[in-house]
Chains A and B, each alone.
Chain A
Amino acid sequence: MSEEKQSVRSEPRYTKRDAEQAIRKEGEQLGNFLPEDAPSYEDILQCMRCGFCLPHCPTYALTNRERSSPRGRAQLAKAVAQGEMELSDKVSFEGFFCLDCRACTTVCPAGVKVGPIMEHVRAQSRNQVHPLPPGWRQFREFLLEYMLPNHDRLENSMLAARLYQRLGVQWMVRNSHLLELTPGTLGETAEKMDGMLPKLEPPLRNRVPELVKARGEKRGTVAYFIGCIMNLMYPEVSRGTINTLAQQGFDVVIPKGAKCCGAPHLTEGDRETARKLGEHNVETFLRWDLDAIVTDCAGCGAALKDYEELLEGRMDERYLHEFRSRIQDVSEFLVGAGMRTEDLKPVEMTITYHDPCHLAHAQGIAKEPRQLIEAIPGLKLVEMFESNWCCGSGANWGLLHPEESEQVLDRKMANVVKTEADAVVTLNPGCHMQLAWGVRRSGLEQEAYHLMELVGRSLPEEAVPPAG
């Protein structure tokens, strides 16, 4: 108990600047962008139009149309920034049609971040010309501003969803009376969501204590950032992660107050809600004395690592920096700490690894997951072709563009099949869902897993028992 108290801080350590005025960067309007949340002109100008991104862009591969390429998107943003073009519905569409997979950034000689530039374009178009199907806007706002920021609300709403073995979003769509289902995009979306559903287990968050003690010789204290999707859809994965961290000798803190990382909001262009969530999370986690804040959701990890930029001017930069320096993907953390492998049980399986875009491209982490796989006895890795090509999930992209998403997924599944592996493994819930759906849709024998579920199976004992 006493040790527990030591690791808890009572007072928030950060100082807030005046939040009210901070974000609204005063004055200067950037061409035809609105003053609030405009992309950075510096970032846009950095594109030298070399075109090296073209063969790496999934949407350009689909359309062979320059405006749907990273270079095209950066140049459209430049045209708007220079007042040569309006922030038209088509510019806006390209903002939303971008998968935000960041594959272009990985190969860009000049390091241009087209994904984040497009996130700003989304924020700009959010309430103007956003080409959403009817009803989506209300639904989106309901989801983004009401449901996602609150774990309790999400979990409660899931109760009914679980009863029907349905994904909560669809349940909410049907039960919230916020929109009428129409044939076409929404109908397809609903149908697709059914196919994507994992077998739902009760959310993990309320089944675990706020502190899970280290097993064996203690190596440190970490927090586990439990993502919304992981918690709701893949509690078995979260359990695998917590158990692994504990078995590896780390006290694991799962702060009750943690909220959504804000990634879905950034994706949808709702930067303000994302900032509020971000502030809350920094405040919540920095109350603890931690060696690391670990996540097993690549999307969350990428968003959390970007808090410094998101919250610039809104919170004291020292604390933002401290928060940033703690955030690690679970593979990055475990490999960095060095896996204790002596007690692990073999997990006999041949797997192929799909690099999540938000891990490989947004965070530059591709070696560590493979090293982690290598550390687990019994797991055999067979590399697939284009392992870091997007699976077509892209947060809600797959739901907004179902047809295109299937084409991207087909390309991925063809590469998965060629490996003849028993399973396709990844490190992000969005990819996990999409790959599971891909497997089901193509009637394949392979299975889709989050790597941490398999790592969890190799443990000699479990700190957190399964549900039931």
Chain B
Amino acid sequence: MPSKLSAQAIQDLKRHLGKEQVLHEKEDLYTYGYDATPELSGLPDVVVFPRTAEEVAYVVEFANENGLPLSPRGSGTGLSGGSIPAEGGVVAVMTRMNKILEIDEENLTATVEPGVITLDLADAVAARGLFYPPDPGSQKVSTIGGNVAENAGGLRGLKYGVTRDYVMALEAVLMDGSHLMTGGKAVKDVAGYSFRDLLVGSEGTLGIVTQVTVSLIPPPKAKKTMVAYFKDVATAGQAVSEIVAAKIIPATLEILDNKTINSIEDYVSIGLPREMQGLLLIETDGHPAEVEEEAAEIHEVLERVGADVIRVAQTDQEAEDLTAARRTALSALARVSPTTILEDSTVPRSELASTFNEIARLTKKYNLTVGTFGHAGDGNLHPTALTDERNSEEIKRVHAFFSELYDHVLAVGGTVSGEHGIGMAKVGYLERQIGSGGVKVMRRIKHAFDPEGRLNPGKMFTPELQEEVRA
């Protein structure tokens, strides 16, 4: 395979980073060309595993000297192609910078390297009686660095917020080789532009994060789990709005549609009612007395709205059983067909019902199989097209389906990405949401950080768009 890199350049990398930290065989390059995004992939010229911020700076210098693009990567679980080396070049895998550096119980913070696995951090702080709430679906695999880059969400978003809400400080290497430190352990900080907030969710296009300090909170003492079934998905949507309108913020408020319920039943037969059009999984947590009170109020709302079945867990085991359906949702859908295309269209909660209706209409129009589940409390839905990448005609219909769905999502004030990011997958959608003016400002910011357009190219904007700014 022709590489843009000379043998000498590879030697240099190995000398600086150690030969174990440099991969260039074609089998390795191939397997660092994808992430969890369907249909998309690239092919790097070399893969490196920096272990310190200094080594990251060296890799940046190397990319600059050799005129190569540079894409940072965590565990490669992203769903928008954020870590795919779209234009080849260097992939910098951050998984070997995986030390938890400090858990500061006085300031309630944890400081970690970017390659720490999300759940490992959550477990480590839990062992000290603390709580790191962001829980993206891939938390057992994903890295904190990747979570920061994509501003990852999760099931607890409604009550506890997303990754951004916990990032207090960042260290990053910029494309000029400088080390940037932004934020700190101080709870308040208004000194200048908040680079920290700019880097969170920047999808690896502005700098390479080398250290993250997150804030921690005390964990809730009690939890109550319940499930409600609805014969009509619009009523389920209404229930979500009414729960929130009753001034209750559940920790979890998840929805599954009829296709998802039936796929789960086909897969594990746990006795879900197949005729139901919607399932809501609701968990409230906090002080035990408060939890009981909230649970009773939620029960009341569900009855008033007209839920067809309501089940409240009395024991931990029952709670476990009630959450089984939600936990199994993705597995069940993924087994239906070879290719699973999962989106993250997000709307204001009050538009959940209209969005479910639109999904149903478009599923019929494009003659597709679509299961929808998601974080109803956040208005964040995962319509999941169950298809086959070998059927190019159907894949076309899938794309048309999502494109038209986003028309609706944007019309009702939603967003083209609630938690997966723009990456490569949604480059075409960004301008539809924020307008050409918005994109232009973003491109100028990108230019200020990375004038050569070398860092993670092909993400957020098309290369042509970025070219315009340079010119």
Name A's B-contacting residues (CB within 8 A): 42, 45-46, 48-52, 54-55, 64-67, 69, 71-72, 75-76, 79, 84-85, 88, 90-91, 94, 108-111
> Could you pull out 10 A-B pairs where Cβ atoms are within 8 angstroms?
A45-B389, A48-B36, A49-B38, A51-B35, A51-B76, A51-B138, A52-B77, A65-B28, A66-B31, A66-B32
Given contacts A76-B30, A111-B334, 10 further A-B contacts (CB under 8 A): A45-B338, A48-B340, A50-B77, A51-B141, A54-B141, A67-B28, A67-B31, A69-B31, A75-B34, A111-B331
Using A49-B34, A55-B141, A64-B95 as known contacts, say yes or no to A109 and B330 having CB atoms under 8 A apart. Answer: yes
**In the assembly, what is the distance between CA of A71 and CA of B35, in Å?**
10
**In the assembly, what is the distance between CA of A52 and CA of B25, in Å?**
25
Say whether B27 faces chain A, with CB atoms less than 8 Å apart.
yes
Distance (whole angstroms) from the CB of A279 to the closest CB of chain B: 31
Distance (whole angstroms) from the CB of A424 to the closest CB of chain B: 25
Decide: A64 and B96 in contact? CB cutoff 8 A: yes
Decide: A50 and B138 in contact? CB cutoff 8 A: yes
Annotate B367-400 by CB proximity to A: 1 below 8 A, 0 otherwise.
Answer: 0000000000000000000001110000000000
Smallest Cβ-Cβ distance to B332: which chain A residue: A109
**In the assembly, what is the distance between CA of A160 and CA of B334, in Å?**
54
With a cutoff of 8 Å between Cβ atoms, the chain A residues found around residue B35 in the complex are 49, 51
Using A64-B95, A110-B335, A111-B335 as known contacts, say yes or no to A88 and B27 having CB atoms under 8 A apart. Answer: yes
Decide: A51 and B339 in contact? CB cutoff 8 A: no
With a cutoff of 8 Å between Cβ atoms, the chain A residues found around residue B96 in the complex are 64
Smallest Cβ-Cβ distance to B328: which chain A residue: A109
Annotate B330-355 by CB proximity to A: 1 below 8 A, 0 otherwise.
Answer: 11001100111000000000000000
Say whether B49 faces chain A, with CB atoms less than 8 Å apart.
yes
Of B95, B140, B331, which one neighbours A110 at CB under 8 angstroms? B331
Which residues of B (19-54) have their CB < 8 Å from a CB of A? 23, 25-28, 30-32, 34-38, 49
With a cutoff of 8 Å between Cβ atoms, the chain A residues found around residue B75 in the complex are 51, 54
With a cutoff of 8 Å between Cβ atoms, the chain B residues found around residue A48 in the complex are 36, 38, 334, 339-340
Name B's A-contacting residues (CB within 8 A): 23, 25-28, 30-32, 34-38, 49, 75-77, 95-96, 117, 138, 140-141, 330-331, 334-335, 338-340, 388-390
Using A51-B36, A64-B96, A76-B31 as known contacts, say yes or no to A45 and B339 having CB atoms under 8 A apart. Answer: yes
With a cutoff of 8 Å between Cβ atoms, the chain B residues found around residue A66 in the complex are 28, 31-32, 76
Distance (whole angstroms) from the CB of B282 to the closest CB of chain A: 24
With a cutoff of 8 Å between Cβ atoms, the chain A residues found around residue B37 in the complex are 49
With a cutoff of 8 Å between Cβ atoms, the chain A residues found around residue B390 in the complex are 45
Distance (whole angstroms) from the CB of B127 to the closest CB of chain A: 13
Decide: A49 and B36 in contact? CB cutoff 8 A: yes
Looking at B31, B32, B36, the one whose CB has the most chain A CB atoms below 10 A away is: B31
Decide: B77 and A79 in contact? CB cutoff 8 A: no
**In the assembly, what is the distance between CA of A55 and CA of B123, in Å?**
15
**In the assembly, what is the distance between CA of A150 and CA of B105, in Å?**
65
**In the assembly, what is the distance between CA of A69 and CA of B75, in Å?**
11
Distance (whole angstroms) from the CB of B94 to the closest CB of chain A: 11
With a cutoff of 8 Å between Cβ atoms, the chain A residues found around residue B34 in the complex are 49, 75
Decide: A65 and B23 in contact? CB cutoff 8 A: yes
Decide: A64 and B339 in contact? CB cutoff 8 A: no
Distance (whole angstroms) from the CB of A251 to the closest CB of chain B: 34
**In the assembly, what is the distance between CA of A64 and CA of B47, in Å?**
12
Of A55, A72, A90, which one neighbours B117 at CB under 8 angstroms? A55
Distance (whole angstroms) from the CB of B20 to the closest CB of chain A: 9
With a cutoff of 8 Å between Cβ atoms, the chain A residues found around residue B141 in the complex are 51-52, 54-55
Smallest Cβ-Cβ distance to A46: which chain B residue: B338
**In the assembly, what is the distance between CA of A91 and CA of B96, in Å?**
24
**In the assembly, what is the distance between CA of A94 and CA of B338, in Å?**
23
With a cutoff of 8 Å between Cβ atoms, the chain A residues found around residue B140 in the complex are 52, 55
With a cutoff of 8 Å between Cβ atoms, the chain A residues found around residue B95 in the complex are 64
Distance (whole angstroms) from the CB of B110 to the closest CB of chain A: 20
**In the assembly, what is the distance between CA of A42 and CA of B339, in Å?**
10
Smallest Cβ-Cβ distance to A47: which chain B residue: B338
